[in-house]
Chain A
Amino acid sequence: MAEESTEMDIQSATEPESLPAKPIFKPLKAHEMSDGKVQFRKVSVPPNRYTPLEKAWLDIYTPVYHQMKVDIRMKSRKVELKTRADTPDVSNLQKSADFVHAFMLGFDVTDAISLLRMDELYVESFEIKDVKTLKGEHLSRAIGRLSGKGGKTKFAIENSTKTRIVIADTRIHILGAFSNIKIARDSLCSLIMGSPAGKVYSKLRAVSATLAERF
């Protein structure tokens, strides 16, 4: 034994042992990641959105179920989302939940759908009172300023900044890319603060030009 141990056979280094091939694993499905547990999301439906939800239910259901591969159902004024076994990505559930939530906030399905398709889109919400304390008529006027006549100011902001804005009474929701949200928020805040629409327009024009130049 001692002799054997001392006489170590020196293996020649000319033929190194071939290493085993790198294992290739498929990405974990949501199902497997959570160890077979199913993940849930629940989105409550505000009363004013109940009817639009009914109207647009199919438009919501189809992309979520078939493309996102997330189970979606409506139960007692709540929309429930559940992962399936074949949900490809972990984030699908969250995206779907966000999509539904955006709809509940007031956004159109066509606009909310963009959340499903793009990662970088966010929804930001704030209240008018966060910007400036307004009461009574001032508040009303502020809201009126924000939307403009027939909503043209709002549309102007939307079109120039590539965002979607929902003004729900005193709440404001902005859907879009982060930088765009910022621009839209700035213009909205200036409107709340009292600047006339013309001023906001001119700023928007400049901004839109720069935005357009960038791309």
Chain B
Amino acid sequence: MAAAVKDSGFEALENLKSTEPPVFLAPSSSISSVARVASQYLFTKLKPHNPKSPFDELLVDGFDAEQIWQQIDMQSQPLLSSLRHEFKRFAKNPGEIRKLGDLAMEEDSREGDVDEMDMDGLDSDGVNEDEDDDELEADESEGEEEEEDGEDEEAEEEDEEENEEQNEGIEDKFFKIKDLEDFLEEGEAQEYGTDYKDKKGVSMGKKQNLRDDDYDDDDDEDDEDEEDEEFGAFAGDDNEDEDNLGKARYEDFFGGKKKETKKTRKDVFEDEEAGDGNQGTDKLSTHEKELLKLQSKIDQMEKANLDPKHWTMQGEVTAAKRPKNSALEVDLDFEHNARPPPVITEEVTASLEDMIKSRIIEARFDDVQRAPSLPTKSKREAKELDDNKSKKGLAEVYEEEYVQKSNPAFAPATFSDELKKEASMLFKKLCLKLDALSHFHFTPKPVIEEMSIQTNVPAIAMEEVAPVAVSDAAMLAPEEIFSGTGKIKDESELTQEERKRRRAKKKRKFKAESAKQPVKKARDTNTEIHNTGNE
């Protein structure tokens, strides 16, 4: 069935190829059926290369173009990515293409349809046919190469394992000395324009005949195998045949067990390290080297612990115990009791200026105002030095002093107090009279307790209900104003005797008054000067 399908498919393909392009423009059932068969054939051919595809064969019956296309798409997508990887690989190492070429020879012997195996999906409409043809051809070549690779890898896996072990000391999955050397030589070639030969004997610039014998260099093949291994990780499944899958081992990916051979060690180190003195450590494995490092570290730390501590670790240290100026080199932490001065930034300045402006506008200046002096004690009545002979006897003076000390309440008022009293009394009286003048409202007289003996007071005093403004003088009766007999004579009416009598009376009065007052001597400046001159 498969062979029949193959044959019919192949015939269908041939048929499609032969048809004229304009025929595809018009939909015809015959062409579509032929196309479907061809697609199926191609699908089945591609199937081995794509183990992930869910379809074993392209389901064509009863499916429309969209569905067929989807199936082909599902198969081809992973295939395309793997093919891209292979393509890149071959771009770097054209030597492998040679291998594929060999493989193709073998394949041709096996099958005749290798050329058309790798065909991408065909759309029934046939719009993308040209593209598909191109892809098909590319894929074909790649497919050949892949198959070749797969065969080679199978054969030379064992060799890989051996060679792997030799280089295991410094190499692991990330770093290979051979790769480094190749890279360096590549770079040199590019820089200096030398046409260097790859280890495989293939010059990068030219692509030599793929059919050259590279089996002459068995050593180089070891490198290839190792390189193949790298890519095996990415497209291992695609590269290897289905038979190789079961044989994939840990060692293939992450390197095998480590065995030491002095020779390879020396080869490697001679290239890269000159004058390496640690021949003794050559034998050690990575783990042992790490142990050595740890040990050295431990020794260091132990030594540090035994030595005296650094002065910063010694607790309280005075200046004598530490080296000179060593405190400068260390960051010392202080407790600052004072607040650090404010950092003047533009914002601070701006805020200050705003404050100043507002203060000026408000006219609210903080001028220092003189503190008001405490209210001085009322100056004690500064006793003026009395020049006059004191009227009190000394006993009375001390008596008063004693009384004041013991019983201030009973102390008789001092001279100044009396004066004050008198003054206040006078003023009150004056105020009363002034108030009476200014209004007619009755304000009672202030009660002044006075003890005085009044003579000539009538036994009964009738209260005079009259406004205060009316003076007492107005209320007096005529008799009280003038007391005298009725006969009053004017001057012109007086007789001579009566005049004499009046004059004598006057003189007597005057004399009596002048006798009371001592006559003051009239000040005569002339005489005074005269007197002083004499003395």
Contacts and interface: CB of A to CB of B under 8 A. Distances in A.
Interface of A: 108, 110-111, 113-114, 117-118, 121, 148, 150-153, 155-156, 158-160, 162-164, 175-177, 201, 204-205, 208-209, 212-213, 215
B344 interface: no
10 contacts: A110-B396, A114-B395, A148-B387, A152-B387, A155-B389, A175-B394, A176-B394, A177-B398, A205-B385, A209-B383
B380 interface: yes
B387 A155 contact: yes
Nearest to B401: A215
Given A209-B382, A212-B380, A212-B383, A110 B395 contact: yes
B15 interface: no
Given A209-B380, A213-B380, A114 B385 contact: no
B197 to A, nearest CB: 129
B74 to A, nearest CB: 125
Nearest to A175: B394
Nearest to A160: B385
Nearest to B385: A156
Contacts of B380: 209, 212-213
Contacts of A201: 385
Contact of A111 (B382, B383, B395): B395
Contact of A114 (B387, B388, B394): B394
Nearest to B382: A209
B377 to A, nearest CB: 10
B386 A155 contact: yes
Given A156-B385, A204-B385, A208-B383, A111 B398 contact: no
Contact of B393 (A110, A160, A177, A204): A110
B390 A113 contact: no
Give the interface size class of chain B: 20 to 34
B405 interface: yes
A162 B401 contact: yes
Interface of B: 380, 382-383, 385-390, 392-399, 401, 404-405
A19 B398 CA distance: 47
B438 to A, nearest CB: 43
A101 to B, nearest CB: 15
Contacts of A121: 394, 398
B382 to A, nearest CB: 7
Contacts of B383: 160, 208-209, 212
Contact of A159 (B382, B385, B404): B385
A75 to B, nearest CB: 28
A200 to B, nearest CB: 10
A108 B397 CA distance: 14
B393 A111 contact: yes
B388 A152 contact: yes
A164 B394 contact: yes
B390 A155 contact: yes
Given A110-B395, A162-B394, A209-B380, 20 more contacts: A108-B393, A114-B398, A117-B398, A148-B387, A150-B387, A152-B388, A153-B387, A155-B387, A155-B388, A156-B387, A159-B390, A160-B383, A162-B398, A163-B394, A177-B398, A201-B385, A208-B385, A209-B382, A212-B383, A215-B404
A152 B339 CA distance: 71
Contacts of B389: 151, 155
A145 B228 CA distance: 144
A110 B394 contact: yes
Most B Cβ at <10 Å: residue of A156, A159, A175, A201: A159
A91 to B, nearest CB: 17
A177 B401 CA distance: 12
B392 to A, nearest CB: 8
Nearest to B397: A162
A163 B395 CA distance: 10
Nearest to A177: B398
Contacts of B385: 156, 159-160, 201, 204-205, 208
A215 B405 contact: yes
A61 B395 CA distance: 17
